Amino acid sequence: MFKLCGLQFLLAIQWFTSESPDVIFRATGEKDELIDILPHTGMLYLNGSLDWETKAVHNLQVESLDKNGDVVKGPCTVTIYVEDINDNPPKFDQTQYTGVVRQNSRAGKPFMRVHATDLDDPTTPHAQLNYSILHHFPNPYAEMLFQINSLTGEISPSRTGSYYLDPQKQDTFTLVVSVKDMAGMTENAFKNSVDVIITVKESLWKAPPTITIKENSTQPHPVNISQVHSNEPDVIYEVFEKESLAKFPFSIDQNGSIYVTEPLDREEKDAYSFFVITKDKEGELVDKPLKINVVVEDINDNPPVCQNAVTILEVQENESGGSSIGTLSATDMDQKDTLNSRLKFKILSQDPAVPTSNLFFIQQDTGVLQLYGHSLNKRIASNYSLKVEVTDEVFQAICDVQIHVIDINDQIPIFEKSDYHNVTVAESLPVGTVLLEIQATDGDEPATGSSHIIYQVKEGDPNNTFIIETDFETNRGFLKINKALDFETAAVHNLVINATNPEPLVSGVQYNSSSLTLFKVFVTNVDEPPAFHKEVYTAELSEDVPVNTLVMTVEAHDPEGDAVRYSLEGDWRKWLRIDSTTGQIYTASALDREQEQVYRVDVVASEINNAAQKFKTPLVLNLKDVNDNPPRLNMDYPLFFCYPLRGGEKALIRATDDDEQKFYSTITFSLKDDIDTINNWEISKVNATHAYLSPKHTNFEEKVYTAPMIINDNGVPQLEREVVLEVSICTCSSENSCFIQVEREHSKPSTGQAIGILLGVLIVIGAIIGGAFFHMKYKEKNKKKSQQKDAKDQSESDKLNA
């Protein structure tokens, strides 16, 4: 079996041999005058070129013959496979192609196809074809408007073409399409090309203009409202809802006709938007989605509605003609700014019709109510009721309006007394005390701003010592003390009180003397305690100031001018003293911020002639820290290492400083400079307040060691403390804690102690035995007494029975 690649004639391709030298060879079968065998040598040879495209397989039979022509051996089957070479270029099945594409066709959707064939072996790359677009005439954009599937030859719009193809701008394009064999992977491949003429036509796939549908249509539904057409045949039309509605009132059939399925109500929803899409039989999108806009057209199907069941307006009785009273509001659910929602207003009736029946006027288009030329008089009528008709083009409604006539402030308050004479009070009377009740009356309408009365002290009270409160139900006023009275400041107050209304008086009316009254307050003196100039005294001192340092001077005065004596209360640390005459406060002993950072005492001022009259105020002394405390260890746990040591052990040491840490405090740990300490231990810093103590070796015995060390702070001046750490080397329990105390002798009692302990034990035992003995004797004695009593009782009982 052989594969032969286009061998030339006379080329030997196989030798056949025989055991007998006197034989000849013969070949029969599909020789096609191209293949034969030399009879004497058995050489199978070609005498021409084989062609795969003509015949791919040749089947022969070879046999050996003797001199008589009889078959000696055979026939032997020989199959010759002809291997293809790339000797045929691809050819298009048309000399020119034409196609039509619609404007706005979807990118990648094929609209035509080119096809080429290659006579070479289709199972080899020789016949594997690859398509491409060589040229594009015209090409107005940076990217090609068309694309081709390199394997199938399908031509479709590119993404750019889908957007820009427009028959109004360019309706014809020429593409030069190339095809290569060898899958287009080698420069030696055969190639061919063909022109493709493409005509661009206007897209059938267009969104219709905005669709208008009259609301509440009485036509039988569904009703056709529009139609769309795809650029592709045999597509499936669907509507895609943009909004999530409870019921979607639109549908589409397979001809692209769009329907509204039920009557629409503009007042519920005045516009709809949805999309129409097309799909092929595989469910893939064919065209771009089209947006459909629907507007619901209004009809006059809603009556006017009064905004309020009753519209209440107010007008003052002195309003002039033409004055605006207010606006009657009504609405219409029909489309705004159309004749369907245009409202007109008209007064139908007025009750009461006094003094005339046409006191009011309403503007037809705005609903604004106005007065005619007559002013209103509350005494004639305090309320009016109007019936107002509101209409649109079809419907009407009746609205109720009530107009309240408001009294004007044309009456001033008048005091019942022009002079309330005087009152005498002690200066110690508490704030809030009522000194006087006053009364004025007002002739305007009760319970309005025109008749409410506000009382004020107009003259004689520059410091607002008094205040007047009004009971608006009775218009009665109450004069009260607003600030503490002071005989020394003002012994007499001559007050002028006025009465006014919160509502302004009408033009031409003014307050006069009838709205004024007089009242005089005499203040009597009361012996009062001294008073300090400040409510609280504060001072700041360093804790290291020397004794007898002046802290501050306090000052108090007596309202009656008596001499004042000063003293301190609450100085429980005896840190301060005060000069009883001058009020100068000094330090009396050393201060210590670590004991009291804020020290509070009371400064007392009392009259010299009446010590019961006294007053005190707080003094707050804030102490500033100085570095007067060396650091100290702050550990509530023992230091130990488990015996035997293995190396690498460390124990945490913690220190603190009692001074105030204004900045970041750093404590330094160091070992004392002696030979044993340096040889046995080392210290490593952890942070500002902690360090590790570590053994330097493992040759420690099981006992308690000492580690003298020095700890320093970073204050000014720097302070240090020498401490001795006890470190136990001990056998540890499973919880890694010392479980015996090492090198502590078990205490043995001395001879005297032993005798004392023995005597103590014997005394306790004797006391227990004695107690038990006396208890038994006591019980026996009580038993005998009980028996004697029972015998006596029995004897007496027998005598009584006899």
Q: What is the pLDDT of residues 615-664, one digit of tens each?
A: 999 999 999 877 777 888 888 888 899 999 888 889 899 988 877 666 56
How would DSSP label each residue in 68-135? TS-EEEEEEEEEEEEPP-S----EESSSEEEEEEETTPPTT---EE--EE--S-TTSGGG--EEEEEE
Other CB atoms within 10 Å distance of the CB of residue 342: 16
Single out the residue of 153, 149, 141, 196 nearest to residue 172, CA to CA: 196
If 0-12 CB within 10 Å is exposed, 13-18 middle and 19+ buried, where does residue 461 land? buried
Q: CA-to-CA distance for 664 and 688, rounded, in angstroms?
A: 8
Q: CA-to-CA distance for 446 and 471, rounded, in angstroms?
A: 13
pLDDT at 798 over 50: no
Q: Which amino acid is at 295?
A: V
Phi, psi (deg, nearest 5) at residue 578: -130, 140
pLDDT of residue 607: 87
Q: Is 523 helix (H, G, I), strand (E, B) or coil?
A: strand
Query: Is the model's pTM score more than 0.85?
Result: no
How would DSSP label each residue in 696-760? S-S---SSEEEEEEEEE--SSS--EEEEEEEEEEE-B-TTSSB-S-TT-PPP---HHHHHHHHHH
pLDDT tens-digit map of 300-337: 889 999 999 999 998 888 788 888 999 999 999 988 98
pLDDT tens-digit map of 220-254: 999 999 999 998 888 999 998 888 888 899 999 99
Per the CB < 8 A criterion, the answer to whether 276 and 239 are in contact is: yes
pLDDT at 778 over 70: no
Residue 197: band (very low, low, confident or very high) from pLDDT cuts 50, 70, 90: very high
Q: CA-to-CA distance for 132 and 135, rounded, in angstroms?
A: 9
pLDDT of residue 6: 31
Single out the residue of 692, 649, 639 nearest to residue 669, CA to CA: 692
Other CB atoms within 10 Å distance of the CB of residue 246: 4
Q: Is 678 helix (H, G, I), strand (E, B) or coil?
A: helix
pLDDT tens-digit map of 369-421: 999 877 788 878 889 999 999 999 999 999 999 999 888 888 899 999 999 99
pLDDT of residue 746: 40
Helices (H) and strands (E) counted in the chain, each on its own, are: 3, 57
Per the CB < 8 A criterion, the answer to whether 99 and 283 are in contact is: no
What value, to the nearest 5°, has the Cα angle with vertex 159 and ends 155 and 165? 75
Phi-psi region of 505 (alpha: psi -120 to 50; beta: other; left: phi over 0): beta
Region 71-84: mean pLDDT is 88
Per the CB < 8 A criterion, the answer to whether 317 and 407 are in contact is: yes
pLDDT of residue 801: 40
Phi-psi region of 697 (alpha: psi -120 to 50; beta: other; left: phi over 0): beta
Domains in the chain, CATH or no CATH each: 24-81 (2.60.40.60), 91-201 (2.60.40.60), 211-297 (2.60.40.60), 305-406 (2.60.40.60), 413-524 (2.60.40.60), 531-624 (2.60.40.60), 632-738 (2.60.40.60)
pLDDT of residue 770: 64
Q: CA-to-CA distance for 82 and 120, rounded, in angstroms?
A: 12
If 0-12 CB within 10 Å is exposed, 13-18 middle and 19+ buried, where does residue 363 land? middle
Other CB atoms within 10 Å distance of the CB of residue 129: 24
Per the CB < 8 A criterion, the answer to whether 66 and 23 are in contact is: yes
How far apart, in Å, do the first and last CA atoms of the chain sit?
161
pLDDT of residue 3: 33
Q: CA-to-CA distance for 718 and 237, rounded, in angstroms?
A: 93
Single out the residue of 737, 706, 707, 744 nearest to residue 643, CA to CA: 737
Residues in the chain: 802
Say if residue 138 is preceded by a cis peptide, omega within 30 of 0: yes
Q: CA-to-CA distance for 113 and 150, rounded, in angstroms?
A: 11
pLDDT at 800 over 50: no
Token pair for residue 245? 């509605």
Token pair for residue 459? 């003259």
pLDDT of residue 540: 92
